[in-house]
Structure 1
Amino acid sequence: MRSILSTSASALGNSATSGRPLATGLVVTALVATLAALLLPVQLFGETASAAGNTVTYDDDGGGTVHTRHGPLTAMDRDFVRKVRLAGLWELPAGRQAQARGRTAAVRTAGDHLVAGHTELDRRSVEAGRTLGIALANQPTPEQQGWLGQLNSAADAEYPRLFAELLRRSHGKVFGLIAMVRDRTRNAMVRALADRANAVVLDHITVLEKTGQVDFDALHSS
């Protein structure tokens, strides 16, 4: 910065011979350009770091992109369809359980929404898997089975909090993948599934939060 100011002073000192208005304009332009060059990398790196912190990933099955009558089908597309199916395999029974065990109307309502939403999404994901040739799971993952086990063994007093916590966290994680798929996919069938999943998952997030059992501090620190 000292060299920049020295250059500016020198240019201003010579302005009597070259025309003060012109010299002053050149100096101001040079200063602005220099400061912009100094600040721009900082801003760009800041944006890059922020974007990197919010990166959404998917599981690559190594199958590459295949062509279907509904458009190209990528590894991201296949992973999304599989995850929609997996979500229904544990969130549907969790919703049915909430309908039966919910001690408040809000928890039972959340259960109703989970059952309705995942019944529809499960049907759509199975249809997409069959049409697009995507192998789908028929039972929850060990982790999902563990969550169902926690709900099954929870005491009545503990159940509403655990239900809201597990289901809200799960829906929050998949929400980013849905947005990425909707933005990037070129497959019409996958896009339609993402459209519907976006609406259903947002609805589920909303009704789970309305139970009053979601600990937002714990949710975003995990």
Structure 2
Amino acid sequence: MRVRAAHGVRRWPAGSLPRWAVPDGGRPGAGRALGTWLVVAALAATLVALIVPVALFPGRAAGGARPVAAGAPVWDDDGAGVRDTPYGELTALDRDFVRKVRLAGLWEQPAGRLAQERGTTESVRTAGEHLVGGHTELDRRSVEAARVLDVPLPDRPTAQQQGWLDRIGAAQGSAFDRTFAELVRAAHGKVFGLVALVRDRTGNAVVRDLATRANTVVLDHISVLEDTGRSGVPHTGAPGGAPARHSDEEMK
């Protein structure tokens, strides 16, 4: 080996290289030790790559199931597990959806009737008409689905829903319009996410049909509530601010 010195090139006899020219001072096995550490580091990096996604996204289940996103729709597990039916498997999510469709009608139909009677604008009264018509249909469909699938249904609103209905009933004038539109629009925004979740995941034909129709009805209700200009959400009315009108055929 030749090493350039200050005044030329110095030659070292074979087998007598200086310690600084040999990795790790020339200790036996130093090269193998370095290789081992590189392998360990690579394995550690691979392990971190596998663990970090699980830690960041705990909703991801084994078997490649989709993660549950933050803010995903909330549903109640009745603890009855999955049941086989002639129409496909019936899950806790399916049963809860059928119950929630029924619950929605138990308070939104009365709210819609109040809007028809006491709304101070045509758009509020129109929203009330759509609520009554839409939830009359969905209530009938949910009752039929529950009968076919043997799902117990509630016969009265929840305490929270009754509280909303009481607030609407106590309001007067323009305050009524605002209270009605804000509360009912907010409730529809929550259930809309649940409808989409069920429509995407259910394997039961009866529940799927209910979710498909509910999706159309709930979206219609969201639109007419926003068209009132009182829901707290910018409305999507026709040019000039006139509320978008929906045909009777849409409500069938």
Calculate the TM-score normalised by the size of structure 2. Answer: 0.66
Residue deviations 1:185-213 (CA, integer Å, cap 9, x gap): 00000000000000000000000000000
> Percent identity among equivalent residues?
60
1:140 & 1:67 partners in 2: Cα distance? 29
Q: Match of 1:100, as an amino acid?
A: E
Matched, 1:128 2:150: no
Show the counterpart of 1:190: 207
Deviation at 1:48, TM superposition (A): 4.5
RMSD, aligned α-carbons: 2.6
Matched, 1:147 2:148: no
1:61 & 1:159 partners in 2: Cα distance? 36
1:57 & 1:144 partners in 2: Cα distance? 16
Segments of structure 2 that go 5 or more residues without pairing to the other structure are 1-45, 59-66, 235-252
Q: Match of 2:108, as an amino acid?
A: E
Calculate the TM-score normalised by the size of structure 1. Answer: 0.75
| 1:98 alignment partner, one of 115, 126, 129 | 115
Show the counterpart of 1:107: 124
Deviation at 1:51, TM superposition (A): 5.8
Say which SS state the counterpart of residue 57 (structure 1) adopts.
coil
Task: Tell me: higher relative CO, structure 1 or 2? Use CA pairs within 8 A at least 6 residues apart.
Answer: 1
Residue deviations 1:71-130 (CA, integer Å, cap 9, x gap): 110000000000000000000010011001111110011001101100000000000111
2:215 & 2:193 partners in 1: Cα distance? 10
| 1:73 alignment partner, one of 67, 87, 90 | 90
Length, aligned pairs only: 182
Larger radius of gyration: 2
Matched, 1:175 2:175: no
Show the counterpart of 1:215: 232
| 1:58 alignment partner, one of 48, 54, 75 | 75
1:103 & 1:216 partners in 2: Cα distance? 19
Q: Quick check: which one's helix share is greater?
A: 1
